[in-house]
Each structure stands twice: as structure tokens, then as C-alpha cells.
Amino acid sequence: MRICGLNSSGWRPAAEPLLYYIRDNLAVCGFHHIGRREEFESHGFRAQLQCTGAYDPWLAECVEVLTTPFDDGMAIPLDLFNRAQGWLGTRWDSGSKILISCAAGQSRSVTMAIALLKRKGGLTFLEATRDVVDRVPGAYPHPYVLASAARFSGEPLQFEELRSIYESVRDVPRYPWTLELIHDAVRVK
């Protein structure tokens, strides 16, 4: 399933999907890909975790929104991670359809979805990571963000595991993570 992009003449199918479903009840995107209210409402989301501060004000009229902004490129603060995952877990258990968004839909939202699937989807953190990276084109979570979520989920990633995740990415962006950065990410506590 995909959301279409808005251009000057109205809604048109985007060249690439902008909102990615990981499960029937879970999707990720960048906040600027949410689009128009009518299109958004057609998806039936009941909860949205917003990992950046910016979002359309009408969202709170359509869905329950939890805003938990944190910086990409740094470890997720533990208290924020626990609050967000607790909130997501409650919505998952109630059967809510969940959207997780961040600025680009590549790092923070992807990582929070991975942690949710580890917690509620019956997968290990590494399995969830591979599943989400395979399903979300452009997924490229920052090593510090991903490694901190793995630690907080009780399954810290080792260097070789983290390296293998990035080696499996099909379309590596023009800013590939260095081995040094990946190594540093697994050492951060």
C-alpha cells in the first residue's frame, strides 16, 4: 500500500511509495509524507508516534499523537525510549493501526518500529531489523540510534551484527556509515 505524492496539479502516484507498511497495523514515513488530511484518514490510523517536533496540527484531531522528538545521530534517551515503546505497546495490544514518523522515514521511525516488533511481534531485535530494512526502501537507521534501541530492548548488537545489517542494505545512500562509526555505536552505553 502506498500514499501518493502531492504536486501542483493534485494527488498523483509517487514514483516511489512514501508511506511503508511493515505489518497491516504498522507503517512508517517521514512527516512530510503524511500528505493531505483526507488521504491520511483513508488509511485508518488510530495512533501516531512522532519522532520529531514538527507535524500537521490537524493530526491530533484524527489520531492519538505522542510526540517524542529526539535527535538522529545520537543514542535515544532511555526514558524517551521506554515512554514511546510503552505507549506503542498499549496501542498495539488494543488493535490500533499505528503510524511512526520522523523527518525522513529512514532512521528514527524505522528504529522505533523495529523495537516495537521485537517487543510485540515475536521477533528478536536482529530479525526485526532485517525485516524492517527489507520492507522499507531507504531505511538506513543511524548506528547510534539503532544500537541504543537494541540495548534498551535487552538485545545489544555486536559489531559484526550491526555491520552485517548495513552490508545488507540494497540502496546505500551517498553517506554510508563508516566501520569506525558502527564500532563506536556498539560501545556507547
Give the model confidence (pLDDT) of 100-133 as tens digits: 999 888 999 999 999 999 999 999 999 999 999 9
- Residues of the domain holding 70: 5-187
Digit-coded pLDDT (tens) for 131-169: 999 999 889 999 999 999 999 999 999 999 999 999 988
Assign 85 a pLDDT band (cuts: 50, 70, 90).
Answer: very high
Beta pairing, strands 47-50 & 98-102: parallel
Q: How many domains does the chain have?
A: 1
- Eight-state DSSP code of residue 124: -
H and E: helices and strands count for the chain: 8, 7
Q: Between 79 and 37, where is the model more confident?
A: 79
- What CATH number is attached to the domain comprising 111? 3.90.190.10
* Cα-only R_g, the chain: 16
How much is the pTM?
0.89
pLDDT, one tens digit per residue, over 2-59 is 333 333 333 344 444 488 999 999 999 988 778 788 888 889 999 999 998 867 888 8
Residues, the chain? 189
Residue carrying the nine cell digits 498495539: 92
Task: Report the alpha-carbon distance of residue 32 to residue 34 in Å, rounded.
Answer: 6
DSSP state of 156: P
pLDDT at 147: 97
Query: Which amino acid appears at position 159 of this protein?
Result: F
Q: How much is the pLDDT for 107?
A: 94
Burial class of 56 by CB neighbour count within 10 A (0 to 12, 13 to 18, 19+): middle
- 160 is written with which cell numbers? 559484526
Q: In the prediction, which pLDDT does 160 show?
A: 95
The Cα 17–Cα 114 span in angstroms is 19
Q: Which residue has the cell 488530511?
A: 37
